[in-house]
Amino acid sequence: MTTGAKGPREVRARGGVTMHDVAALAGVSFKTVSNVLNDYPHIRPTTRARVEAAIAELGYQVNASARNLRRGRTGVIGLALPGLAEPYFGELADTVVRVAETRGVTVLVEHTAGERAKELDVLTSARRSLTDGLLLSPLAVTAEDLRELRPTSPLVLLGERVFGVGLDHVTMANVEGARLATRLLLDRGAHRIAVVGAPGAPGEPEPLGPLTELTGLAELAALARGAGVPDGELGSARPLTTTTARLRLAGYLHALVEAGLEPDPALLLPTGDWHRTSGAAAMDRALAVGLEVDAVLGLNDSVALGALHALQLAGVDVPGRVQVVGFDDTIDGAFATPALTSVSPGREVIASSAVDLLLRRIEGVEQAPRLVVAPVRVEERGSTRRA
Amino acid sequence: MTTGAKGPREVRARGGVTMHDVAALAGVSFKTVSNVLNDYPHIRPTTRARVEAAIAELGYQVNASARNLRRGRTGVIGLALPGLAEPYFGELADTVVRVAETRGVTVLVEHTAGERAKELDVLTSARRSLTDGLLLSPLAVTAEDLRELRPTSPLVLLGERVFGVGLDHVTMANVEGARLATRLLLDRGAHRIAVVGAPGAPGEPEPLGPLTELTGLAELAALARGAGVPDGELGSARPLTTTTARLRLAGYLHALVEAGLEPDPALLLPTGDWHRTSGAAAMDRALAVGLEVDAVLGLNDSVALGALHALQLAGVDVPGRVQVVGFDDTIDGAFATPALTSVSPGREVIASSAVDLLLRRIEGVEQAPRLVVAPVRVEERGSTRRA
DNA sequence: TTGTAAGCGTTATCAA
DNA sequence: TTGATAACGCTTACAA
């Protein structure tokens, strides 16, 4: 059935220019068009030019659905994060998207709010069939869940939750980062370093017990090297702030122990969550009870910035009387006044490792599950006193 | 090559269970499986049950590429925003994703950083062929650009930039919102209301000239009703903060004029950008020069929160001595201390209007371009004095 | 109520 | 160096 002569150009509904249209205009077979598009090596330059001209003239774009169907790939990967509003995750998403672009894949960002239901949904929903694989930063889902689900498509985990499921995993050297930050503060003359965002509920810090058990130097050193993270104790189902907080706290304790200092539980200031206002509130409480402090280690930039604000509010000079260090090296911190010294988590490394691990799995490479621990370094800025 | 028996049902590479496999297991034709999947009405319950059991057992998921190819749709829409890190956009993205879910489409969030190059890229890149249409919140791209590009797939614009291109457009009642907020402050006894985040560079407010021209009550009333936004003057290529700032400032002036008050240019505090720290800095400067102020209208929540912090830092009681109102009703504001009174932009309305307009275009409905202006209301909280 | 046949726009195989 | 031809897995007529 002729749909009526459609002039040479006459674009069909929904921009439906096909390879056949291009081929007709270029005077070649449609397969040649395909070859040009796929950088098939043996094409006469003039042919290629004609095809490219036709493509440009018609504004042809490949039909992704058809290509995907044929290739058995979508060229899309999922990235599921607890929330983009938190600066760290927002910036991580950004980095992942950029890295993915250089690898020729696009990223479908999903958002779990850290809720188990949403995390499970992300793993199972029909959206998965739209993607070739998933990067998941789990907060609530358990190792059990993951084992039972036996995820149908390639999966790489991010963060410090849920280990030992036989999946690729990318995390950062949390312990080492906190250790470096603490050491920097000690080097700059600090003796009483408060930890804002420590595990526990506001006002009632988690007992140091299980943590000091971890402070055996050998064990901590292993953690710091990123040699692996004990499952169980550290990997069970607790909110992000708890798990990550414990690792970072361990680094802090490690640095103190190394320096021959006795940790003072009074210096551990829990915040419940890791938002700015909680950091400010914790610092306020500490100041109110006259806690003696000459430095603050915020376990992420948000609480560090909150503490910074509270200190300034109280007329305390930063970094003159109290130095402040954060963790995550977010843009907010870099632009605060004074600019926040912070542990930089190597977002680039995290993002590219994660994407590449996933792509390798998608390509069907069989290899033992890998754990990548991104190295950290301290970005020193105005909130600490340069030597 | 046999890859070895793999449990009951030998799953092909990449979860490749097809409708045929399901049909075989259920003992029906593959078309029946398709019918079940597509909620075709006339299916015997027992047949349906058998098919569903087989689907569950095999863990079958439809192949999105094949379905899309056949349907000529991808079931994905793009959402391109300047940045997710800014609370307003982050929360808007969230709302759009949720709304889209109820409409059965997924959202590919893209990020333009407000740069023209990235905005053009978003409009033209191959990723577009992955989506059925695009929601774009343009910052840098001009009406000219859009006209020349004659975008290939359906496009709906968000925000207060680039009008009059013959495209569907969703925005909010900026003028009305600022007017309501200002009136609330006046009602609560304020006389000297500073505007933090006003157009202009920090320290040198944009002259009121072109704005006061706009304060003819009739024109402002039209704006406030959302009857349309003048192109040209307000719609040309300026950063978001400028365009939006001018609309909100117009609402502020409108309220003053209504109340018979003379606007004082000294009360306009520009911030350059709309981040927290800039809001704090502007407030600091104002306090330093002894500006007499009994209320603050922040043109977004971030600058309002910054100002709030600066006030507290200076020992000024909020809302006792100075009341503060923000704009956008973000979560950060709601959780600040005191909680921030803020203009709520009807994110739900914005999101659902935008998605629905786009879906209608995707379905090929022909209609004149629509302008939807989401209504606003003021969420009153602790940063103002309840009557 | 269920089944058959055709074709969506590509890429892969193989022949020319 | 190019061109037929056959899938890829699904939905949409239409037939049974």
DSSP states of A213-263 as a string? HTT-HHHHHHHHTT----STTTTSS--HHHHHHHHHHHHHHHHHHHTTPPP
- The CA–C1' separation of A45 and C14, in angstroms, is 24
Q: Where are the alpha helices (DSSP H) in chain B?
A: 19-26, 30-37, 45-58, 64-71, 87-102, 116-124, 143-149, 174-187, 209-214, 217-224, 240-258, 276-288, 301-313, 331-334, 347-362
- B94 vs B380: CA distance, rounded Å: 23
Could you identify the residue whose CA is nearest to the C1' atom of nucleotide D8?
A70
Of A15, A152, A335, the CB nearest to B277: A335
- Contact B137/B167 with Cβ under 8 angstroms? no
- Which of chain A's residues have a Cβ under 8 Å away from the Cβ of B14? 72, 153
Coil, strand, or helix at residue A163? coil
Kindly give, in sequence order, each residue whose CB lies less than 8 Å from that of residue A42, ignoring residues fewer than 6 positions away: none
Q: How many whole angstroms separate alpha carbon A300 and alpha carbon A47?
A: 57
- Distance in Å, alpha carbon of B65 to nearest chain A alpha carbon: 5
Q: How many angstroms separate the CA atoms of B283 and A125, rounded? A: 48
Q: pLDDT tens per residue, chain A (387 residues)?
A: 333 333 333 333 345 788 888 888 888 888 888 888 888 778 888 888 888 888 888 888 888 889 888 888 899 999 999 987 788 998 999 899 989 988 989 999 888 888 999 999 899 887 788 899 999 999 888 888 888 887 778 999 998 876 667 889 999 999 899 999 999 999 999 999 999 999 888 877 776 654 444 444 444 445 444 444 443 333 333 444 567 888 899 899 989 988 999 889 999 999 988 988 789 889 999 999 999 999 999 999 999 999 998 898 889 999 999 999 999 999 889 878 899 999 999 999 999 999 999 999 998 888 898 989 899 999 999 999 876
As given in the structure block, the two tokens for residue A56 are 């440009």
B10: left (phi over 0), alpha (psi -120 to 50) or beta: left
- Tell me how far apart the alpha carbons of residues B106 and B99 are, in angstroms, rounded to a whole number: 9
Q: Parallel, antiparallel, or unpaired: how do β-strands B155-158 and B168-172 relate?
A: parallel
- Contacts with B102 (C-beta within 8 Å, 6 or more apart), sequence order: none
Residue nearest to nucleotide C3 (CA to C1'): B29
Find and list the nucleotides of strand C having atoms within 7 Å of a protein beta carbon.
1-5, 7-13
Chain A, residues 114-173, CB within 8 A of chain B, namely: 126-130, 152-153
Tokens of A187: 């080097």
Cα separation of the two ends of chain B = 80
| Confidence (pTM) | 0.81
Checking DSSP bridges between strand B155-158 and strand B133-136, what pairing results, if any? parallel
d(CA B245, CA B10): 61
**Cβ–Cβ contact A316 with B under 8 A:** no
Residue B25, chain A, CB below 8 Å: the answer is: no
Which residues, in sequence order, are CB contacts of A158 under 8 Å at separation 6+?
Answer: A92, A135, A136, A137, A169, A170, A171, A350, A354
CB-based contact B332:B301 (threshold 8 Å)? yes
Rounded Cα distance, A257 and A213, in Å: 13
Q: Is B312 on the interface with A (CB under 8 A)?
A: yes
* Angular region, B200: left φ>0, alpha ψ -120 to 50, beta rest: left
Closest C1' nucleotide to B44's CA = C1
Residue B275: closest C-alpha in chain A: A332
Instruction: Answer yes or no: are the C-beta atoms of B142 and B152 closer than 8 Å.
Output: no
Q: In Å, what is the separation between the CA of B67 and the C1' of D9?
A: 7
Torsional class of A142: left (φ above 0), alpha (ψ -120 to 50), beta (otherwise): beta
**CA of A305: which chain B residue's CA is closest?**
B277
Instruction: Say how far apart CA A265 and CA A286 lie, in whole Å.
Output: 13
Which A positions 218-277 lie with beta carbon below 8 A of chain B? 275-277
Burial bucket for residue B275 (CB in 10 Å: 0-12, 13-18, 19+): buried
Please judge whether A14 and B153 are an interchain contact, meaning their C-beta atoms are less than 8 angstroms apart: yes
Interface check B331 vs A, CB under 8 A: yes
Tokens 């809001």 locate to B279
CB contact under 8 A, A69 and B69: yes
Helix axes B64-71, A64-71, angle to 10 degrees: 140
Q: Are the Cβ atoms of B84 and A87 closer than 8 angstroms?
A: no
User: Residues whose CB falls within 7 A of nucleic chain D?
Assistant: A 28-29, 31-32, 35, 40, 42-44, 47, 66, 69-70, 72; B 16, 18-20, 30-31, 34, 37-38, 62-63, 66-67, 69-71
B87 touches chain A (CB under 8 A): yes
CA distance A197 to A243: 12
From first to last of the 387 residues of chain B, give the pLDDT tens digit. Answer: 333 323 233 333 345 788 888 888 888 888 888 888 888 778 888 888 888 888 888 888 888 889 888 888 899 999 999 987 788 998 999 899 889 988 889 899 888 888 999 999 899 887 788 899 999 999 888 888 888 887 778 999 998 876 667 889 999 999 899 999 999 999 999 999 999 999 888 877 776 654 444 444 444 445 444 444 443 333 333 444 567 888 899 899 989 988 999 889 999 999 988 988 789 889 999 999 999 999 999 999 999 999 998 898 889 999 999 999 999 999 889 878 899 999 999 999 999 999 999 999 998 888 898 889 899 999 999 999 876
Contact B14 A153 (CB under 8 A): yes
The alpha carbon dihedral of A231, A233, A238, A243 has a sign of negative
Task: State how far the Cα of A60 lies from the Cα of B129, in Å rounded to an integer.
Answer: 10
Q: How many CB pairs under 8 A join A and B?
A: 104
CA angle B362, B363, B368 (to 5 degrees): 80
Both tokens of B107, joined, read 């959202």
Torsions phi, psi of A372, nearest 5? -105, 125
The distance in angstroms from the start CA to the end CA of chain A is 82
The residue among B3, B21, B63, B84 with the most chain A CBs within 10 A of its CB, best to mutate, is B84
A285/chain B closest Cα distance in angstroms = 14
Chain B CB within 8 Å of residue A309 CB = yes
Interchain pair B84, A93: CB under 8 A: yes
B338 upstream amide cis, omega within 30 of 0:
yes
Q: Which of B244, B92, B184 is nearest to B381 (CA)?
A: B184
Specify the pLDDT at position B301.
Answer: 96
- How confident is the model over B375-387, as pLDDT tens digits? 999 999 999 987 6
